[in-house]
Amino acid sequence: MPNLIYADHAATTPVRQEVLQAMLPYFSQQYGNPSSLYRLGRQAKAALEQARERVAHCLNASPEEIFFTSGGSEGDNWAVMGMALAGKAQGKHHLITTAMEHPALLESCKFLEKQGIRVSYLPVNSSGFLAPEQVEAAMDQDTFLVSILYANNEIGTIQPIPDIGAICRKKGIPFHTDAVQAAGWLPMDVQAQHIHLLTLSAHKFGGPKGVGVLYCQKGLPLHPLIHGGKQETGRRAGTENVAGAVGLAAALELAQQDQALRCRNVSEKRNWLEQKLSALPDCIVNGAEPRLPGHLNLSFPGVEGESLLLYLDAQGIAASSGSACSSGSGKPSHVLLALGRSENEAKGSLRLTIGEELSWEDCRRLVKVMESALEFLRFDAP
């Protein structure tokens, strides 16, 4: 059996060795609760605060603006619901987002709609992009938040975040971005990009699962969602995930250090794969540049996406039909529908998201397997 080809980095990434090593002491010798007053607790608290400082440095933020969470879903929920509660106190009930957000953001918005919040889901063009002017046109006196995905998890398209941020700043409306896919690949500077709230998740950039960050600019009236103890300056209760925070900080630093090199390496292979695979019969490429370096989303109308994944799996290739959250649901991707793809095209989609461990030999094998998969599945089709 040949080695596993892991082409699903947008679903999760392996924890880097250095990250694991940095975390280990906080599971064993350094097991203190950061809220405890004795030395063991103070040491845990020091590690947590050091992790906060390192994350703040990576984002060009202050440590008191960094809140550790349980991951990307919590960050997205907290940003929109916490700001909705703050907006309600000011008599504001309108939220602007896009039709191609991650489900963590979209479902939070749908929940808020049931609570009487008005949500504008801005459309994107057929390549998956939003124009900053659309955001400005949707704003009114009632708008309490703009939330726009930095880079899309399914097709990788990158939105003009600094331009949208500048408009929000001009209009005095807080701006949240889900930067879960962007971290480790794209620039992240909350000041230069005029970002008020930003969501991260460690497991998407070589860190552990179950830990994330919500950056919240000083002075923003974000309401807490998790009530209890006074952790995270009273804004998020619960004993802190010290090992997770340390791992997240280490992973973010490492990802930023070798970012340029990794982007070049990965995009070169992605471009080669795109050239080979898009030449296959009836192939449609979903999304366009600017796009994340490792993302390649393809539609093969008439081919069942799930069958393609099972075929690839049997050959030792891990890929996705869209987002992990919607695979198995049998529903076509809301992102591909937002681009104007038909249900048939959206159902025959394949998402490859590659990482730096992928070799040229792996790339060649991937193309070969895809060729035989399509021949087999198309022949099989009724």
Ligand X SMILES: *Cc1c(COP(=O)(O)O)cnc(C)c1O
* Catalytic residue flag (residue 325): yes
* Active-site option among 168, 263, 325, 363: 325
CB-nearer residue toward ligand X: 150 or 300: 150
Residue 46 CB, shortest distance to ligand X, in Å, is: 26
Q: How far apart are CA 281 and CA 353, in angstroms?
A: 21
Query: Residue with CB nearest ligand X?
Result: 72
Q: How far apart are CA 2 and CA 382, in angstroms?
A: 32
Name which of 362, 369, 380, 229 is nearest 304 in CA terms. Answer: 380
Residue 169 CB, shortest distance to ligand X, in Å, is: 23
Q: How far apart are CA 1 and CA 358, in angstroms?
A: 17
Q: How far apart are CA 87 and CA 85, in angstroms?
A: 5
Q: How far apart are CA 362 and CA 2, in angstroms?
A: 10
Residue 260 CB, shortest distance to ligand X, in Å, is: 22
| Phi-psi region at 289: left, alpha or beta (left = phi > 0; alpha = psi -120 to 50) | beta
Query: At 131, which amino acid appears?
Result: A
Sign of the CA dihedral with 126 first, then 129, 134, and 139 last: positive
CB-nearer residue toward ligand X: 172 or 328: 328
CB-nearer residue toward ligand X: 177 or 267: 177
Residue 215 CB, shortest distance to ligand X, in Å, is: 15
CB-nearer residue toward ligand X: 97 or 153: 153
Judged by the rule CB under 6 A, the positions of this chain that interact with ligand X are 71-73, 76, 102, 104, 153, 178, 180-181, 201, 204, 212
SS3 call for 69: strand
Residue 55 CB, shortest distance to ligand X, in Å, is: 15
CB-nearer residue toward ligand X: 43 or 333: 333
Q: How far apart are CA 69 and CA 144, in angstroms?
A: 23
Q: Where are the alpha helices (DSSP H) in 131-230?
A: 132-138, 161-171
Residue labelled with tokens 């124009």: 131
* Active centre residues (catalytic): 325
